[in-house]
């Protein structure tokens, strides 16, 4: 086996080898050609030519604390020199301290004791949560979930993710979730304000329990066929949709009335993306379980997990061996996660993120005034959305936003007389929403630069139509 000793291959040669030897099954080939990056720092990625790219999506919100964050990088280096590896059947200090920190914080906020269970990726943590739900509810395997929701691409997570394209090639999913409308204020029915819209959707959900003939409830024994409702407090892949503030409180009342668990998927919105440690905190409800991942380690080492209230996860109901992953609670990940939580405790991220988010949203609103194609802007903290439409300001315009992504990745925008690029991510039901998840450490100047580059990018993309 010959392994290259130094990184001497050109971009063209590397792309040719990638096309020959790498699977196309992942998401790399959503752009053509795929983009090669060489290094990263702060809010920027750099290609092999040294061109900076302002990143406004930060690895799908996995790098909340900026690329190459010195404090978190140092924590990883210290752990490598101390205890880099240990089998997951044994204990190490970092795992215990990290679990304790999360559980104590949850008990303080929600008033419920609970425990933390770790894994390596978001979808794997979702799988573990499904096992906990099934186990606690006597084997019930049916779940409620939202249209537009995304929980991962393992088989179990795909069953509660609404997009059929993630399941299509893998046979029949007999335990597929019942998908219900997520409150989407920009596209709500005419004549309703946001709060009325939220109340309307809660009432529609509650209607399912009125009689046995709606197919989910047996009134003779008082039992629902569905075990849990998997929610995203803000939809991620669905387009960073911010629901009416009254919606989840009303939904939780219905769930509690009929004995249905609420599982809050915080994989993309957790760790102060929205200005709270958990985005569900904005809505005044207490979930039964929280699933987390991504930004816990700032993208340095895969680590995910869940917090569940004690009744669901104590050793009597969820004993040793109930689930397992070779690399769960790995010492590199837990050490970085523990340092990240220390950092979050020492800094007022809530005030910082809400202030920066308000400034960014104000810039987007100003941009909207200058471009008729921006149908909607909204956000909570530094989870922001910019929905691209035709000139009518409502009809989805995927073609325009696709051009924007390609132009941004070409690195031919200009700032202070130099070339610069822009990294964006696209989501939404119609794949026309720019979902903005910048570093929580982004500066005001970088926010203003981002707005200016979006203006330049949108102008170029319209001219290229």
Q: Are residues 27 and 159 in the same domain?
A: no
Beta-bridge partners for 413: 420
The pLDDT, as a whole number, for residue 7 is 62
The pLDDT, as a whole number, for residue 1 is 78
Backbone angles phi, psi at 262, to 5 degrees: -110, 120
Alpha carbon distance 316, 424 (integer Å): 46
Q: Are residues 27 and 164 in the same domain?
A: no
User: Is 110 inside any structural domain?
Assistant: yes
Alpha carbon distance 121, 450 (integer Å): 30
Listed as ranges, residues in the chain with pLDDT below 70 are: 4-7
pLDDT in tens, 445-465: 999 999 999 999 999 999 997
Structural domain of 316: 73-346
Closest by CA to 350, choosing from 276, 423, 284, 429, is 276
| CATH code, 80 | 3.40.640.10
Q: Are residues 222 and 304 in the same domain?
A: yes
User: Which of 325, 346, 367 is a domain's end point?
Assistant: 346
Q: Are residues 100 and 57 in the same domain?
A: no
| CATH code, 459 | 3.90.1150.10
220 by DSSP, 3-state: which? coil
User: Which of 346, 374, 406 is a domain's end point?
Assistant: 346
The pLDDT, as a whole number, for residue 179 is 98
**Total domains in the fold of the chain:** 2
Backbone angles phi, psi at 189, to 5 degrees: -60, 145
Q: Are residues 445 and 428 in the same domain?
A: yes
User: Is 6 inside any structural domain?
Assistant: no
Go through 376-388 and write b for each residue having 16 or more CB atoms within 10 A of its CB, e for each that does not: bbbbbbbbbbbbb
Q: Are residues 335 and 287 in the same domain?
A: yes
CA 391 to chain centre: 30
**Strand (E) or helix (H) holding 116:** strand 114-119
Pairing of strands 52-55, 114-119: unpaired
Q: Are residues 193 and 109 in the same domain?
A: yes
Q: Do residues 459 and 93 touch, judged by C-beta distance below 8 A?
A: no
Q: Are residues 24 and 64 in the same domain?
A: yes
Q: Are residues 274 and 361 in the same domain?
A: no
Whether pTM exceeds 0.85: yes
Q: Do residues 372 and 393 touch, judged by C-beta distance below 8 A?
A: yes
What count of other Cβ atoms lies within 10 Å of the Cβ of residue 82? 12
- The first and second tokens of residue 76, run together, are 């990883």
Please give the angle made by the CA atoms of 421, 425 and 426, to the nearest 5 degrees.
130
Closest by CA to 176, choosing from 187, 188, 164, 185, is 164
Sheet containing 114-119: order of strands:
114-119, 304-309, 289-292, 261-265, 226-231, 142-146, 178-180
380 by DSSP, 3-state: which? strand
User: Is 4 inside any structural domain?
Assistant: no
The pLDDT, as a whole number, for residue 299 is 95
Q: Do residues 277 and 101 touch, judged by C-beta distance below 8 A?
A: no
What count of other Cβ atoms lies within 10 Å of the Cβ of residue 211? 10
CA 134 to chain centre: 24
Closest by CA to 67, choosing from 93, 45, 96, is 45
Q: Are residues 338 and 415 in the same domain?
A: no
Q: Are residues 121 and 246 in the same domain?
A: yes
pLDDT in tens, 390-406: 999 999 999 999 999 99
């Amino acid at each position: 086996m010959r392994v290259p000793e130094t990184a001497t291959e050109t971009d063209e040669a590397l792309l040719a080898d990638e096309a020959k030897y790498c699977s196309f099954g992942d998401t790399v080939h959503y752009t053509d050609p795929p983009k090669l990056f060489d290094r990263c720092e702060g809010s920027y990625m750099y290609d092999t030519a040294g061109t900076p790219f302002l990143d406004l999506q930060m690895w799908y919100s996995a790098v909340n604390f900026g690329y190459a964050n010195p404090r978190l990088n140092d924590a990883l280096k210290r752990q490598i020199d101390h205890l880099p590896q240990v089998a997951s059947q044994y204990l190490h200090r970092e795992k215990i301290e990290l679990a304790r920190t999360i559980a104590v914080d949850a008990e303080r906020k929600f008033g419920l004791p609970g425990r933390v269970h770790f894994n390596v990726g978001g979808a794997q943590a979702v799988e573990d949560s499904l096992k906990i739900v099934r186990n606690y509810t006597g084997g019930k395997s049916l779940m409620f979930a939202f249209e537009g929701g995304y929980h991962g691409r393992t088989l179990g997570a795909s069953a509660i993710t609404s997009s059929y394209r993630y399941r299509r090639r893998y046979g029949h999913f007999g335990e597929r979730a019942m998908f219900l409308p997520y409150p989407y204020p920009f596209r709500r029915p005419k004549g309703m304000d946001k709060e009325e819209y939220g109340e309307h959707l809660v009432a529609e959900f509650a209607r399912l329990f009125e009689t046995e003939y709606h197919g989910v409830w047996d009134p003779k024994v008082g039992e629902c066929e569905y075990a849990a409702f998997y929610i995203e407090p803000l939809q991620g892949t669905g387009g960073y949709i911010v629901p009416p503030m009254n919606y989840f409180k009303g939904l939780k009342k219905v769930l509690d009335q009929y004995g249905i668990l609420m599982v809050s998927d915080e994989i993309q919105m957790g760790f102060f993306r929205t200005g709270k440690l958990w985005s569900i905190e904005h809505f005044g409800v207490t979930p039964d379980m929280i699933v987390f991942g991504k930004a816990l380690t700032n993208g340095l080492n895969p680590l995910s997990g869940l917090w569940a209230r004690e009744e669901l996860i104590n050793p009597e109901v969820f004993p040793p061996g109930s689930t397992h992953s070779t690399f769960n609670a790995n010492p590199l990940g837990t050490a970085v996660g523990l340092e990240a939580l220390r950092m979050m405790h020492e800094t007022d991220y809530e005030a910082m993120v809400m202030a920066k988010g308000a400034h960014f949203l104000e810039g987007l609103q100003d941009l909207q005034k200058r471009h008729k194609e921006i149908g909607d802007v909204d956000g909570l903290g530094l989870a922001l959305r910019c929905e691209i439409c035709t000139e009518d300001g409502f009809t989805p315009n995927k073609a325009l936003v696709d051009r924007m992504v390609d132009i941004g990745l070409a690195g031919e925008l200009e700032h202070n007389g130099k070339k610069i690029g822009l990294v964006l991510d696209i989501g939404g039901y119609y794949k026309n929403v720019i979902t903005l998840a910048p570093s929580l450490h982004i500066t005001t100047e970088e926010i203003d630069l981002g707005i200016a580059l979006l203006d330049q990018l949108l102008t170029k993309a319209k001219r290229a139509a």
